[in-house]
Amino acid sequence: MGKTLGVMLTMTTYGTWLRGDRRGWVDDGKIMPADPELQDMDRGRMAHPPFYLNSAQQIGAGALMGRAVRERIGSPLWAMAVESWHVHIVAGPMGMPIGDAVKEIKLVVLHGLHVARPMWSGGYDKRWCFDAPSVAGRVRYVERHNLQRGFPARRWEMIEDCPYG
């Protein structure tokens, strides 16, 4: 395994992608098939309704996350898409363990948006990038999310040029 050039993080909001989801779900890095009974069981344990970011919250969350990635975590930010129920971030090497970085990002948004209830799911997905093509591919993937919604590929000013294409 080579040097880590970057990482793509995906975080979902509370209750929007449960275990057993028909879209598939991830358990210990493995994609699992739909399981409606498991999904119903998880839904039944939810203490709050699912959380969705409205348009204004999406803009604010992006600004907060971008600053957290660059200033608190010390990583360059190469791509970011914030949608109602999930977020993608592509960043360079993190200045702290990945779990701590995700916790920091989630807390900054929770407190910065003044949300007084659970807003994030407990986990996250990470895709390590060990070569330039994988970084560039993930940047394009995230930028497509913004373009498909009619936004600029780089919706926030703190997003930097990716040195890998």
pTM: 0.91
Residue 32 has pLDDT above 90, yes or no: no
Task: Give all domains of the chain, ordered by start, each with its CATH number.
Answer: 1-16+51-165 (3.30.70.1290), 17-50 (no CATH)
> Which stretches of 83-131 are DSSP H helices?
98-112
Question: pLDDT per residue over 41-86, tens digit each?
Answer: 888 888 999 999 999 999 999 999 999 999 999 999 999 999 999 9
pLDDT band for position 138 (cuts 50, 70, 90):
very high
pLDDT band for position 2 (cuts 50, 70, 90):
low
Q: What is the mean pLDDT of the chain?
A: 93
Residue 1 has pLDDT above 60, yes or no: no
Q: Which two tokens stand for residue 163?
A: 């040195």
Grouping H, G, I as helix, E, B as strand and the rest as coil, residue 149 is: coil
